[in-house]
Amino acid sequence: MWRAWLEVAVPFLLPFALYFAYLAIRSQQAQGNGAAANDIGDGAGNGGAAAAASGPPWLLMTVIGLALAAGVLFYTAFTGGGRPGDAYVPTRVEDGRRVPAEFQPRR
């Protein structure tokens, strides 16, 4: 069950984690230079206040996260599992031991 959640949650949350890591690094660099985080600017002579006023790009991060999660789901759907025509054998108990699920060729 955890694997199913991780296959969706990790790709979805990755853009958010990268954005907040970028903000943390940017803040540390600004403190190291003795400047405020808003004084870094955007490279065009504008202060960082304009960029900070617009807020985080929530929609963009959400769209990227959804695209990554969908990509992982499509990848696992088309690369995982057995070959066409194989029989799925569910998890079972044999001789007191748990045998994991598997695909076996049809006979």
Question: pLDDT (tens digit, 9 = 90+) per residue, 90-106?
Answer: 999 999 999 998 888 88
Task: Answer whether residue 95 is part of any domain.
Answer: no
* 50 in a structural domain: yes
- Tokens 């991780």 -> residue: 6
Residue 105 lies in a domain: no
In a domain, 90, yes or no: no
Residue 87, classed as helix, strand or coil, is strand
Q: Which residues pair with 94 in a beta bridge?
A: 97
Q: At what angle do helices 58-79 and 2-32 cross, to 10 degrees?
A: 140
pTM: 0.62
Domain enclosing residue 12, as ranges? 2-82
56-60: long-range contacts, CB 8 A cutoff, minimum separation 24 = 56/19, 57/19, 60/15
Total count of domains within the chain: 1
Percent of the chain whose predicted confidence (pLDDT) is above 70: 81
* DSSP characters over 15-44: HHHHHHHHHHHHHHHHHHTT--GGGS--SS
